[in-house]
Amino acid sequence: MDRDAKLADLAQLQARVTTLEAELSAAGGASNWPPKTYYTTYHLLAGMVLGLISAASSLLFNIIGAAMVGKHPLQLIRVYLTFPLGESALELSSGFALAAGCCLYLGTGMIGGIPFHLILSRYFDQARPAVRFTVATVLGVGVWLINFYGVLYWLQPTLIGGRWIVEQIPVWVAVATHLVFGWTMLMVDQWGRFVPPTATRTEAKH
Protein backbone atom coordinates (compact mmCIF):
# COMPACT_ATOMS: atom_id res chain seq x y z
CA MET A 1 0.00 0.00 0.00
CA ASP A 2 1.49 3.32 -1.06
CA ARG A 3 1.70 6.42 1.06
CA ASP A 4 -1.38 8.11 -0.46
CA ALA A 5 -3.54 5.10 0.29
CA LYS A 6 -2.35 4.98 3.87
CA LEU A 7 -3.11 8.67 4.34
CA ALA A 8 -6.58 8.12 2.91
CA ASP A 9 -7.21 5.24 5.32
CA LEU A 10 -5.94 7.37 8.22
CA ALA A 11 -8.28 10.21 7.27
CA GLN A 12 -11.21 7.79 7.21
CA LEU A 13 -10.30 6.42 10.63
CA GLN A 14 -10.01 9.91 12.08
CA ALA A 15 -13.38 10.83 10.63
CA ARG A 16 -14.87 7.68 12.16
CA VAL A 17 -13.38 8.52 15.57
CA THR A 18 -14.83 12.03 15.36
CA THR A 19 -18.24 10.61 14.50
CA LEU A 20 -18.16 8.14 17.39
CA GLU A 21 -17.11 10.84 19.85
CA ALA A 22 -19.97 13.06 18.67
CA GLU A 23 -22.45 10.20 19.10
CA LEU A 24 -21.18 9.45 22.60
CA SER A 25 -21.37 13.12 23.52
CA ALA A 26 -24.93 13.38 22.21
CA ALA A 27 -25.92 10.33 24.25
CA GLY A 28 -24.53 11.93 27.40
CA GLY A 29 -21.80 9.37 27.91
CA ALA A 30 -18.96 11.88 27.71
CA SER A 31 -20.64 15.08 28.89
CA ASN A 32 -21.67 14.16 32.43
CA TRP A 33 -18.24 13.38 33.83
CA PRO A 34 -16.35 15.07 35.24
CA PRO A 35 -18.93 17.62 36.46
CA LYS A 36 -18.54 20.95 34.73
CA THR A 37 -20.01 22.92 37.63
CA TYR A 38 -19.59 22.86 41.41
CA TYR A 39 -19.72 19.23 42.55
CA THR A 40 -22.08 19.74 45.50
CA THR A 41 -22.53 16.08 46.47
CA TYR A 42 -18.80 15.53 46.69
CA HIS A 43 -18.27 18.65 48.79
CA LEU A 44 -21.08 17.67 51.16
CA LEU A 45 -19.28 14.42 51.94
CA ALA A 46 -15.92 16.18 52.07
CA GLY A 47 -17.35 18.69 54.53
CA MET A 48 -18.40 15.85 56.82
CA VAL A 49 -14.92 14.31 56.78
CA LEU A 50 -13.21 17.65 57.36
CA GLY A 51 -15.74 18.46 60.07
CA LEU A 52 -14.78 15.26 61.87
CA ILE A 53 -11.11 16.27 61.75
CA SER A 54 -11.90 19.78 62.98
CA ALA A 55 -14.12 18.50 65.80
CA ALA A 56 -11.31 16.19 66.93
CA SER A 57 -8.97 19.19 66.88
CA SER A 58 -11.28 21.33 69.01
CA LEU A 59 -11.90 18.44 71.41
CA LEU A 60 -8.15 17.91 71.81
CA PHE A 61 -7.78 21.65 72.47
CA ASN A 62 -10.32 21.37 75.27
CA ILE A 63 -8.78 18.22 76.75
CA ILE A 64 -5.36 19.86 76.97
CA GLY A 65 -6.81 23.12 78.27
CA ALA A 66 -8.91 21.41 80.94
CA ALA A 67 -5.95 19.36 82.14
CA MET A 68 -3.83 22.52 82.39
CA VAL A 69 -6.31 24.24 84.71
CA GLY A 70 -6.94 21.16 86.85
CA LYS A 71 -10.34 20.15 85.53
CA HIS A 72 -11.53 16.80 84.24
CA PRO A 73 -10.09 16.31 80.72
CA LEU A 74 -13.57 15.73 79.32
CA GLN A 75 -15.20 18.59 81.21
CA LEU A 76 -16.59 19.98 77.96
CA ILE A 77 -18.24 16.66 77.14
CA ARG A 78 -19.66 16.40 80.66
CA VAL A 79 -21.24 19.83 80.30
CA TYR A 80 -22.65 19.02 76.85
CA LEU A 81 -24.13 15.80 78.24
CA THR A 82 -26.27 17.85 80.59
CA PHE A 83 -28.56 18.36 77.61
CA PRO A 84 -29.83 14.76 77.63
CA LEU A 85 -28.83 13.78 81.18
CA GLY A 86 -29.35 16.92 83.21
CA GLU A 87 -27.12 18.13 86.05
CA SER A 88 -26.06 14.56 86.94
CA ALA A 89 -23.81 14.55 83.86
CA LEU A 90 -21.45 16.96 85.62
CA GLU A 91 -20.50 14.18 88.04
CA LEU A 92 -19.47 11.68 85.37
CA SER A 93 -15.82 10.63 85.59
CA SER A 94 -15.60 7.70 83.18
CA GLY A 95 -17.69 5.09 81.43
CA PHE A 96 -19.86 4.61 78.39
CA ALA A 97 -21.71 7.91 78.74
CA LEU A 98 -18.53 9.96 78.30
CA ALA A 99 -17.43 7.80 75.38
CA ALA A 100 -20.83 8.26 73.76
CA GLY A 101 -20.58 11.98 74.44
CA CYS A 102 -17.28 12.15 72.57
CA CYS A 103 -18.85 10.34 69.62
CA LEU A 104 -21.79 12.73 69.65
CA TYR A 105 -19.40 15.69 69.74
CA LEU A 106 -17.50 14.36 66.73
CA GLY A 107 -20.74 13.57 64.93
CA THR A 108 -21.98 17.10 65.52
CA GLY A 109 -18.69 18.36 64.10
CA MET A 110 -19.27 16.29 60.95
CA ILE A 111 -22.60 18.02 60.40
CA GLY A 112 -21.16 21.42 61.25
CA GLY A 113 -18.31 20.93 58.80
CA ILE A 114 -20.68 20.88 55.83
CA PRO A 115 -21.66 24.58 55.75
CA PHE A 116 -18.08 25.63 56.58
CA HIS A 117 -16.64 23.69 53.67
CA LEU A 118 -19.40 24.60 51.21
CA ILE A 119 -18.98 28.31 51.92
CA LEU A 120 -15.17 28.26 51.83
CA SER A 121 -14.90 26.10 48.71
CA ARG A 122 -17.75 27.57 46.70
CA TYR A 123 -17.75 31.27 47.47
CA PHE A 124 -14.22 31.97 48.70
CA ASP A 125 -12.15 29.48 46.74
CA GLN A 126 -9.98 32.15 45.10
CA ALA A 127 -10.17 34.73 47.88
CA ARG A 128 -7.05 36.07 49.58
CA PRO A 129 -5.83 34.21 52.68
CA ALA A 130 -6.78 37.14 54.91
CA VAL A 131 -10.33 37.09 53.57
CA ARG A 132 -10.66 33.33 54.01
CA PHE A 133 -9.33 33.62 57.57
CA THR A 134 -11.88 36.33 58.32
CA VAL A 135 -14.69 34.22 56.88
CA ALA A 136 -13.68 31.18 58.96
CA THR A 137 -13.50 33.37 62.07
CA VAL A 138 -16.90 34.93 61.47
CA LEU A 139 -18.42 31.51 60.82
CA GLY A 140 -16.92 30.13 64.04
CA VAL A 141 -18.20 33.00 66.17
CA GLY A 142 -21.53 32.94 64.37
CA VAL A 143 -22.06 29.25 65.08
CA TRP A 144 -21.24 29.85 68.76
CA LEU A 145 -23.79 32.66 69.02
CA ILE A 146 -26.48 30.63 67.28
CA ASN A 147 -25.81 27.43 69.23
CA PHE A 148 -25.51 29.01 72.66
CA TYR A 149 -27.83 32.00 72.59
CA GLY A 150 -30.11 31.20 69.69
CA VAL A 151 -30.85 27.57 70.60
CA LEU A 152 -29.42 26.22 73.86
CA TYR A 153 -30.20 29.30 75.97
CA TRP A 154 -33.94 28.62 75.76
CA LEU A 155 -34.12 25.01 74.55
CA GLN A 156 -32.21 23.31 77.38
CA PRO A 157 -34.22 24.87 80.23
CA THR A 158 -37.40 24.19 78.31
CA LEU A 159 -36.64 20.49 77.87
CA ILE A 160 -34.32 19.65 80.78
CA GLY A 161 -34.96 22.35 83.35
CA GLY A 162 -31.55 24.04 83.50
CA ARG A 163 -29.17 26.20 81.48
CA TRP A 164 -25.97 24.31 82.33
CA ILE A 165 -24.23 24.49 78.95
CA VAL A 166 -24.47 28.27 78.68
CA GLU A 167 -23.69 28.80 82.38
CA GLN A 168 -20.99 26.14 82.94
CA ILE A 169 -18.84 26.84 79.87
CA PRO A 170 -16.98 30.19 80.18
CA VAL A 171 -17.56 32.50 77.24
CA TRP A 172 -13.89 32.52 76.26
CA VAL A 173 -13.76 28.70 76.26
CA ALA A 174 -16.89 28.47 74.11
CA VAL A 175 -15.60 31.06 71.66
CA ALA A 176 -12.11 29.49 71.51
CA THR A 177 -13.59 26.03 70.93
CA HIS A 178 -15.61 27.24 67.95
CA LEU A 179 -12.69 29.27 66.60
CA VAL A 180 -10.37 26.25 66.75
CA PHE A 181 -13.00 24.30 64.82
CA GLY A 182 -13.34 27.04 62.20
CA TRP A 183 -9.61 27.62 61.82
CA THR A 184 -8.98 23.90 61.48
CA MET A 185 -11.64 23.76 58.77
CA LEU A 186 -9.76 26.55 57.02
CA MET A 187 -6.42 24.74 57.26
CA VAL A 188 -7.74 21.42 55.94
CA ASP A 189 -10.17 22.91 53.43
CA GLN A 190 -7.92 22.17 50.44
CA TRP A 191 -7.95 18.48 51.35
CA GLY A 192 -11.60 18.33 50.39
CA ARG A 193 -11.41 19.91 46.95
CA PHE A 194 -12.60 17.92 43.95
CA VAL A 195 -9.89 17.42 41.33
CA PRO A 196 -11.19 15.68 38.17
CA PRO A 197 -9.14 12.65 37.09
CA THR A 198 -8.46 14.27 33.73
CA ALA A 199 -7.00 17.32 35.46
CA THR A 200 -4.80 15.09 37.59
CA ARG A 201 -3.45 13.30 34.52
CA THR A 202 -2.82 16.62 32.75
CA GLU A 203 -0.89 17.98 35.75
CA ALA A 204 1.17 14.78 35.92
CA LYS A 205 2.21 15.18 32.26
CA HIS A 206 3.49 18.68 32.96
CA–CA gap between residue 206 and residue 199 (Å, rounded): 11
Can you give the pLDDT at residue 27?
A: 62
Amino acid at 87: E
CB contact at 8 A, 51 and 109: yes
Give 1's pLDDT tier (boundaries 50, 70, 90): low
Average pLDDT over residues 9-13: 83
| Tens digit of each residue's pLDDT (9 = 90 or more) over 177-194 | 999 999 999 999 999 988
Q: Report whether the peptide linkage leading into residue 170 is cis, meaning its omega lies within 30 degrees of zero.
A: no
Judged on CB neighbours under 10 Å (0-12, 13-18, 19+), 175 is middle
Between CA 186 and CA 194 the distance in angstroms is 16
Under the banding of pLDDT at 50, 70 and 90, the label for residue 28 is low
Residue 31 reports pLDDT greater than 70? no
Tell me the pLDDT tens digit for each residue of 113-166.
999 999 999 999 999 999 999 999 999 999 999 999 999 999 999 999 999 999
Specify the 3-state DSSP secondary structure of 59: helix
pLDDT at 203: 46
Mean pLDDT of 98-117: 96
| Sign of the CA dihedral running 83, 85, 88, 94 | negative
Q: What pLDDT shows up at residue 204? A: 46
Q: Residue 202: its pLDDT value, please?
A: 46
- In the chain, the amino acid numbered 206 is H
pLDDT tens for each residue of 61-99: 999 999 898 999 999 999 999 998 999 999 998 889 999
